[in-house]
Amino acid sequence: MILGLSVLELSSGNHLVDGPTETDRQTDRPTCAKQYTPTSSKGGILLLLLLLLLLLLLLLLLLLLLLLLLLLLLLLLIIIIIIIIIIIIIIIIINQVFRRKKLVIRLANAGGLAGWLAGWRAGGLAGGLAGGRNKLVRAITMSFIVRF
């Protein structure tokens, strides 16, 4: 087929006739004027709308999964913070009960353990510095722990 004309039509000279030829009418072939595209029919449009709806549902499902992941991370962070607070309170209570030097558990252990539990290097560093003998170093690191 050359430009919508068959070899038979080219050889017979029927290509000069406007509109469909007699053989086109008998075989019910579409002519060059009627080109078929998938979007020109109702089925094609419905198929495109269905694919678009499927894509939207997939994006909505992905968004819901992302939201669920964020909620789980937030819950994990809240649990870690509660554990850190409980450990620090226990250490402070033990420090208040036992005043002797050998039984005093320093805040360094609490900060280091809390930092290890939370996976924060800064928590372990601040806890290690808080156990120092210098009061200024302890004050600075305590403010550091409170800020973070």
- Count of domains forming the chain: 2
104 and 123 in a single domain? The answer is yes
11 and 42 in a single domain? The answer is no
N- to C-terminal Cα separation, the chain: 77
56 and 24 in a single domain? The answer is no
29 and 72 in a single domain? The answer is no
Range of the domain at 83: 36-147
pLDDT in tens, 79-125: 999 999 998 888 877 777 766 544 445 555 555 555 555 555 555 55
Prediction pTM value: 0.37
State how far the Cα of 81 lies from the Cα of 78, in Å rounded to an integer: 5
Of 95 and 71, the structure prediction assigns the larger pLDDT to: 71
31 and 49 in a single domain? The answer is no
